[in-house]
């Protein structure tokens, strides 16, 4: 196992604002390898900031075993820090996904315990609450899944925090296969929050599931225009490209969205690059730009090694290109 980075974790030197800014830019664009390299060459930095950057970078690179060791060390010094507890929990969920069925449940339960501690440390942190609701809905009961707890948390959030509570309620409704109710609720809330990007995107997703791609496309356009967080905005642009590729919605706009998305994550460790390249190649094919589509094939192949769905989609694309 690789040795942990940054032996001088417990130094007392401050983290300069300029360092934080440059590191945040790399983190925002998922340039985890580059960030890890820069952190390794950086001077000794303040404890908390350095630990968070280290953990976020290791999570992005799926260096789960190293991250677990570092998280354990960090929590010995900051046992009640909500941000470190949240990252440690997410890493346990990664370990659960990557482990055998015999050990997955124990990792998931450990992650749940850490997440509960994070919520106790920061009860107003809505990000932690959303993660906890998602876990309760998605995890099997043997690993700590609990739909009743998810509904309880979503109800409490809806009573105190809007429109975030609506987003949590949508998750609960969709877990119960209540698409019409989710659509109705979202439409009602959009009358009060017409420019909330996450709510607009949630509506776009529901419309897409409801087989209304043209309406979904419009909502994702609104979400992208309203978003102030760049990474969040890119996710909405990806969905514009997805709908353009799979539902033939405005291919020109979809092409521009995906080209911008890929430029944003150029030379990064972003997990969905292969899918964005595939969707862009599909749009090129529809627009009879076969040469451009073929140029993307080796890049998609490099990204599809551990993704069976992407491999299958790539095979279909290659067949279509041979026929064209």
Assess whether the previous peptide bond of 163 is cis (omega < 30° from 0): yes
Is residue 255 predicted with pLDDT exceeding 50? yes
Is residue 312 predicted with pLDDT exceeding 70? yes
Please report the pLDDT score of residue 14 as a whole number. 40
pLDDT 10s digits, 30-82? 999 999 998 875 544 456 888 899 899 999 999 999 999 999 988 988 999 99
The residue with greater pLDDT, 228 or 323, is: 228
Q: How confident is the model at residue 20 (pLDDT cuts 50, 70, 90)?
A: low
pLDDT 10s digits, 76-99? 889 999 999 999 999 999 999 999
Report the alpha-carbon distance of residue 197 to residue 221 in Å, rounded: 10
Closest by alpha carbon to 170, among 140, 133, 129, 145? Answer: 133
| Cα separations in angstroms, 319 against 36, 274, 324 | 39, 18, 9
Report the alpha-carbon distance of residue 186 to residue 156 in Å, rounded: 18
Which pTM value belongs to this model? 0.89
Report yes or no: 321 and 286 within 8 Å, Cβ to Cβ: no
pLDDT 10s digits, 155-180? 999 999 999 999 999 999 999 999 99
Closest by alpha carbon to 211, among 245, 246, 236, 187? Answer: 246
Please report the pLDDT score of residue 253 as a whole number. 97
Percent of the chain with pLDDT over 90: 82
Domains, the chain: 229-324 (1.25.40)
Question: How high is the mean pLDDT of the chain?
Answer: 90
- The radius of gyration computed from the CA coordinates of the chain, to the nearest angstrom, equals 21
């Amino acid at each position: 196992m690789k040795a942990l980075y940054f032996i001088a974790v417990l130094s007392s030197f401050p983290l300069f604002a300029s360092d934080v800014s440059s590191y945040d830019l790399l983190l925002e664009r998922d340039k985890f390898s580059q960030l890890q390299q820069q952190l390794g060459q950086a001077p000794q930095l303040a404890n908390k900031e350095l630990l968070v950057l280290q953990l976020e970078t290791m999570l992005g690179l799926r260096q789960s075993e190293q991250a677990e060791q570092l998280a354990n060390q960090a929590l010995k010094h900051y046992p009640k820090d909500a941000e470190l507890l949240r990252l440690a929990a997410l890493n346990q969920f990664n370990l659960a996904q990557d482990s055998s069925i015999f050990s997955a449940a124990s990792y998931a339960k450990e992650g749940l315990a850490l997440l509960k501690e994070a919520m106790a440390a920061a009860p107003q942190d809505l990000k932690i609450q959303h993660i906890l609701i998602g876990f309760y809905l998605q995890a099997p009961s043997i690993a700590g899944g609990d739909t009743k707890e998810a509904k309880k948390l979503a109800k409490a959030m809806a009573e105190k925090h809007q429109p975030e509570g609506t987003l949590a309620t949508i998750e609960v409704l969709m877990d119960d296969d209540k698409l019409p109710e989710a659509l109705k609720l979202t439409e009602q809330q959009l009358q009060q929050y017409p420019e909330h990007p996450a709510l607009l995107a949630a509506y776009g997703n529901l419309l897409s599931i409801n087989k209304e791609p043209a309406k979904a496309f419009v909502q994702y356009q609104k979400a992208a225009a309203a978003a102030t967080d760049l990474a969040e905005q890119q996710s909405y642009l990806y969905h514009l490209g997805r709908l353009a590729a799979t539902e033939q919605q405005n291919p020109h706009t979809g092409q521009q969205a995906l080209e911008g998305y890929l430029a944003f994550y150029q030379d990064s460790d972003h997990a969905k690059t292969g899918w964005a390249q595939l969707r862009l190649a599909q749009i090129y094919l529809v627009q009879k730009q076969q040469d451009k589509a073929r140029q993307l094939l080796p890049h998609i192949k490099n990204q599809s090694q551990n993704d069976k769905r992407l491999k299958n989609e790539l095979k279909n694309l290659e067949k279509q290109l041979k026929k064209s």
